[in-house]
Amino acid sequence: MRSLDTWINNKRSRETPVKKIEINDIRKERVDTPPPVKKSGRRENNVPIGNVGYVIENKGNGGVEPGGVYILLSADYDPQNEKVYLKFYDINREKIVLWYDVTGHRPYAYSKEDPEALRNHPEIIKLAEKIIDLRREKKHDTINDVEIEVTKIIVKDPLVIGGTRSSLREKITLWEADIKYYANYIFDMGFQVGGYYTLESADSIPKPLDIKDPPEIKKYIEKIDDPEIKRWIKILSMDIPNYKRIALDIEVYNPPGIMPQVEDPKYPIFMASLRGSDGLKKVIVHDLRNEIKEDKLKHDDFEIEIVKSEEELIKRVLEIVQEYPIVITFNGDKFDLPYIRKRGELLGIPNISGLIKLGRNDARVSWGIHIDLYELFKNISIKTYAFSNAYDIVSLDTVARALLGKGKVSMDKTFQEATMEEILKYSYVDAELTYELTEFNHNLVMRLVTMISRIANMTIDDVCRLSISNWIKNRLIYEHRRHNYLIPLPQEIAGKGGRKHLEPITKGKKYVGAIVIEPVPGIHFNVHVVDFASLYPSIMKEFNISYETVNCPHVRCRENKVPGSTTWICTQRKGLISEFVGAIRDVRVLVFKKLARDKGLPIEKRKFYEVAQGSLKVFINAMYGVIGAETFPFYYLPAAEAITLLGRYAITTSIEKAREKGLEVIYGDTDSLFIKNPDPQRLKEFMGEIEKKLRLKLEIDKIYRYVVLSNRKKNYFGVLTDGGIDVKGLLGKKSSTPPFIKNIFYEVLEILKGINSYEEFNQAKEKIQDIIVNAEKKLRAGEVPLEELAISVTLSKPLRAYTKTTPQHVKAARKLERVLGIEVQPGTIIRIIKTKDRDGAAPLELVKSIREVDTNKYVELLKSTLEQILEVLDIDLEKLRIDREYRSLDKFFNF
């Protein structure tokens, strides 16, 4: 880690090292006298109550200290004091400090009525007491590209604008009325979440610290002219500290088979495990069966603390976690934290409601920040882009196995049956894994959420709980504010007009997507795959795609048509969305991707830049998707279609050009071309010409030693020049395929991997035949365990939502509920076995004997899975059919 002192470019800090700055006298004086409390506000002990610039000092929560070095991580609104407060991480004291607004900033929204009209409006009159001001303001109307005058309605509290049934936004048309107040505050004040700040005096506004650029970054900043890009480089290259944090996990003494419910917390908490970044490893236990003997108290892996009651346990846990600014849980939003609070309330623990704050779907802690890893890992962008689908089900066990290579301690006994010692171990490992998920790979997860906070300019709490479309929305709102643009209503964007030009290929879709080239079936050697480097984001950048620039109001732009449509694109103004994609794309490609691969840098730094470029990639990849999603506030169908139309144009133009040059295109999908055995010179020329013509860069993505194509699109496999194997779309790869068949599939692939020429295929055929004949024998002889035959299918809706058809997994799930009383929710993976009964399938749990299995179905499934690779290799499965004796054996089992 580089030392902070060396790169904080603050004069005062350099003269006197940061850590030694003395506490300002003013602050000391103030902290001794508690700040005045508003009459309406109730005061409880230990509850931080804000006033001007500082808070009451309590455990784990310090007041803002002038001269300190802070990172802005979060914010919230305090309704009692009617102020926004910011949560800063103090990097020296390793605490969260709260800073309450000192500017008198108030909530507001905009109306297009003039102030006079509004003053006479009955709804405004009704709320007159709570309205502070109606002020005329100039804003830029992005859709019509003109300056307009709007009225800023400034109010006393955010609920006047929105959040209740009687709020103003429910009564009259308002603009910018659904932005969270604390987010508004951050935008208006120009705060950068994840940025460094200091405070000059207790009641001043936090001032950005000018951070000295690391030497490797300097080179880039000097080279780049665009101030916008420079700003991005600076923000994203600032160091992220190893946050002091603690993982928490509780155990509830519930009867066998009954899950503890937050709504009805009737069973006691008897154990809590803690794992801190400072090395704390502790399990606190209320030994309700009195079985832990003094001599057993020692444990190699963690410290055991025995308490006499549940009340003592909760108090002790709260005492410890308050020492940590960041609390990590796995499912703490919906379980651990609300459960602790509710049990605490039942036991009459004072002030627990001030420490754990429950939202509708989340739980926050007053002295710091709570990160629920379950919510984070569930996030589809985190799952697919950041962790490339390394885990599929989101549970502590599966995520830890995938990312840490180790899982939970298995426990097949109930708490009643297990010894305390066993439960201790089990419980501790949960906290340990939870902590390690934030620490592995150089604190990747903590760095990732901070980096995303910076890009979205969104609080860490929100980043961990909201989806990518919210991250992007947040950043775009901020960009509107920076440009003084009024944010249009979704219906205004939709009302711009413009039309759809091509019917979607798939029924029920809103607009056309990409082109997939008809594959040439066969085995092809030496295939070069060229593709457009991030095609859709590049199109968005290069062709100025944004909701306001597609079908813009300028007459002279109407000539600038998207090929094959009447849609035109603005040539006068840069689109906001286009600008944002362009900037983060450039920053990623020109700076952070290079730094992440710079072998001259120490591994720690490279890992850091890897997180930066990876976070940027998450945003870049999602930009096209959100503009085509109706739920996105800047959704505009003609803009989404313009992107795909330009993509179609790029790929068709490239195919034509390639064929003109005598290059053989055998397949392609969306942004790629598979070129068979190309002449290197011609390939190079071709790529250059395309880039010149389309302003889109083509690159060689990979080279296959050989690739096997069938007549199916999105279905192929290939062996790369380095021996690696690519399997795309084939049945054998699908998560629903039974393990037994999957294994056979991969065994066959393993054989194909070594092949270099046509001749070698014939030898491989023999081996493959053996494998298949054996597999079928095993199946028919009933030698395959049921587990290996299970077909795993996700239940994606609640059971009652399947009204049109009843698929097999839904039938099975209903049976599970009826017969075993197992609760199934959306997201549950149902494992079914194909059976010979009327339904044709049953849940794995209810199949008792191998004799119920419909062997023929499995042979069929094996056949269709393997056929996808074998038909091209000219291996005829029918010829491999097993001798009559096995068929008769099968018959024997049937009767």
Partner DNA sequence: AACTGTGGCTTGCTTG
Partner DNA sequence: CAAGCAAGCCACAGTT
- Return the number of the residue (629 or 846) whose C-beta is nearest DNA: 629
Site for DNA in 252-291 (CB under 7 A): none
| Contact stretch for DNA (CB under 7 A) within 4-12, 260-268, 665-673, 681-689 | 665-673
Token pair for 323: 């020492």
Return the number of other C-beta atoms located less than 10 Å from residue 752's C-beta: 21
Residue nearer to DNA on the CB measure, 294 or 878: 878
Window contacting DNA (CB under 7 A); options: 339-347, 553-561, 727-735, 748-756: 727-735
727 binds DNA (CB under 7 A): yes
From the CB of 860, what's the least distance to DNA, in Å? 7
Q: What is the DSSP string of 79-148?
A: TTTTEEEEEEEETTTTEEEEEE--S----EEEESS-HHHHHT-HHHHHTGGGEEEEEEEEEEETTTTEEE
Q: Which of 59, 501, 702, 733 binds DNA (CB under 7 A)?
A: 733
Residue 535 or 784: the one with the smaller Cβ distance to DNA is 535
* Contact between residue 535 and residue 670 where contact means Cβ atoms under 8 Å apart: yes
Residue whose CB is less far from DNA, 479 or 671:
671
Considering the complex, state which of residue 354 and residue 807 has its C-beta at the smaller distance from DNA. 807
Q: Minimum Å distance from CB 142 to DNA?
A: 22
Element (DSSP H or E) covering residue 594: helix 593-596
Least distance to DNA from the beta carbon of 511, Å? Answer: 5
Which of 669, 709, 772, 835 contacts DNA by CB under 7 A? Answer: 669
Q: Select 75 or 620, whichever has its Cβ closest to DNA.
A: 620
Distance from C-alpha of 711 to C-alpha of 529, rounded to nearest angstrom: 18
> Using CA of residue 678, residue 682, residue 684, residue 688, what is the dihedral sign?
negative
What is Dmax (Cα atoms) for the chain? 96
Which of residues 56 and 707 has its CB atom nearest to DNA in the complex? 707
Minimum gap (Å) between residue 502 Cβ and DNA:
8
**String of contacts with DNA for each residue 685-714, x by CB under 7 A:** ---------------------------xxx
- Residue 867: half-sphere exposure toward Cβ, Cα within 13 Å: 13
Residues written for the chain: 895
Nearer to DNA, 196 or 511 (CB): 511
Work out whether 739 is an interface residue with DNA (CB under 7 A): no
**What is residue 363's three-state secondary structure?**
strand
Q: Round to whole Å and give the CA distance between 704 and 725.
A: 9
Considering the complex, state which of residue 202 and residue 824 has its C-beta at the smaller distance from DNA: 824
What is the closest distance, in whole angstroms, from the C-beta atom of residue 667 to DNA in the complex? 9
User: Mapping DSSP to helix (H, G, I), strand (E, B) and coil, where does residue 26 land?
Assistant: helix
Bridge partner list, 726: 718
Which has the closest alpha carbon to 145: 627, 547, 664?
Answer: 547
x-or-dash string of contact with DNA, 632-651, rule CB under 7 A: --------x---x-------
- What is the 3-class SS of 700-756, one letter each residue? EEEEEEEEEECCCCCCEEEEECCCCEEEECCHHHCCCCCHHHHHHHHHHHHHHHCCC
Q: Cβ contacts of residue 313 below 8 Å, gap of 6+?
A: 269, 270, 271, 272, 284, 285, 286, 307
Q: Which is nearer to DNA, 293 or 507 (CB)?
A: 507
Q: Tell me which of 51, 74, 184, 715 binds DNA, using CB under 7 A.
A: 715
CB 187 within 8 A of CB 194: no
Q: In angstroms, what is the minimal distance from the CB of 757 to DNA?
A: 25
CA 617 to chain CA mean position, Å: 12
Q: Which stretch binds DNA (CB under 7 A): 45-53, 194-202, 731-739, 872-880?
A: 731-739
Which of 7, 649, 761, 802 touches DNA (CB under 7 A)? 802
Contact pattern for DNA over residues 597 through 626, marking x by CB under 7 A: ---------------------------xx-
Amino acid at 29: E
The reply on whether position 499 binds DNA by CB under 7 A is no
Query: 13, 457, 459, 672: which one contacts DNA (CB under 7 A)?
Result: 672
Query: Residue 322: phi, psi to the nearest 5?
Result: -70, -15
Smaller CB separation from DNA, 243 or 858: 858
Tell the smallest beta-carbon distance from residue 330 to DNA (Å). Answer: 23
End-to-end CA distance of the chain: 72
Q: Residue 217 interacts with DNA (CB under 7 A)? A: no
# chain residues binding DNA, by CB under 7 A = 64
Draw the binding track, 520-549, toward DNA (x: CB under 7 A; -: no contact): -----------x---x--------------
Cα separation, 592 vs 451, whole angstroms: 12
**Separation of alpha carbons 113 and 126, rounded Å:** 17
**Nearest Cα to 281, choosing from 300, 297, 295?**
300
| Binding status of residue 807 toward DNA by CB under 7 A | yes
Our finding on whether 734 is near DNA (CB under 7 A) is: yes
Give the contacts of 235 (CB within 8 A, at least 6 positions apart): 192, 194, 195, 454
* Residue 381 within binding range of DNA, rule CB under 7 A: no
Position 817 contacts DNA (CB under 7 A):
no
Contact stretch for DNA (CB under 7 A) within 413-421, 458-466, 514-522, 540-548: 514-522
Alpha carbon of 386 to those of 397, 403, 611, 618: distances in Å?
Answer: 19, 12, 9, 7
- Range 859-878, binding DNA (CB under 7 A): 861, 864-865, 868
Q: Around 50, how many Cα atoms within 13 Å sit in the side-chain half-sphere?
A: 26
d(CA 463, CA 472): 11
The nearest distance, CB 566 to DNA, in angstroms, is 19
Q: Which stretch in 85-93, 232-240, 627-635, 759-767 sits in contact with DNA by CB under 7 A?
A: 627-635
Q: Which is nearer to DNA, 507 or 692 (CB)?
A: 507
Looking at residue 52, its amino acid is V
Q: Give the residues across from 306 on adjacent strands.
A: 285
Give me the torsion for CA of 621, 624, 627, 630, rounded to 10°: -80
**By CB under 7 A, residue 35 contacts DNA:** no
**DSSP characters over 367-413:** TSEEEEHHHHHHSHHIIIIITTTS-SS-SHHHHHHHHHS--PPP--S
The answer to the question of residue 839 lying near DNA (CB under 7 A) is yes
CA distance 533 to 671: 8
Residue 467 interacts with DNA (CB under 7 A)?
no
Task: Tell me: does residue 806 bind DNA (CB under 7 A).
Answer: yes
Candidates 588, 780, 811, 815: give the one binding DNA (CB under 7 A).
Answer: 811
CA distance to 654, 669, 690, per residue, from 698 (Å):
10, 14, 7
419 lies in the binding site for DNA (CB under 7 A): no
Q: Is 513 among the residues that bind DNA (CB under 7 A)?
A: yes
Residue 840 lies near DNA (rule: CB under 7 A):
yes
State yes or no: residue 628 binds DNA (CB under 7 A). Answer: yes
Write the binding mask 762 to 801 for DNA: x where contact by CB under 7 A, - elsewhere: ------------------------------xxxxxx----
Q: Which stretch binds DNA (CB under 7 A): 230-238, 305-313, 499-507, 880-888?
A: 499-507
825 near DNA, rule: CB under 7 A: no
Instruction: Give the pair of three-digit tokens for residue 70.
Output: 């802070």
Chosen residue from 35, 241, 729, 739 binding DNA by CB under 7 A: 729
- For position 507 contacting DNA by CB under 7 A, the verdict is yes
Site residues, DNA (CB under 7 A): 504-516, 531, 535, 624-625, 628-630, 640, 644, 669-672, 712-715, 727-729, 731, 733-736, 792-797, 802-811, 829, 834, 839-841, 857, 861, 864-865, 868
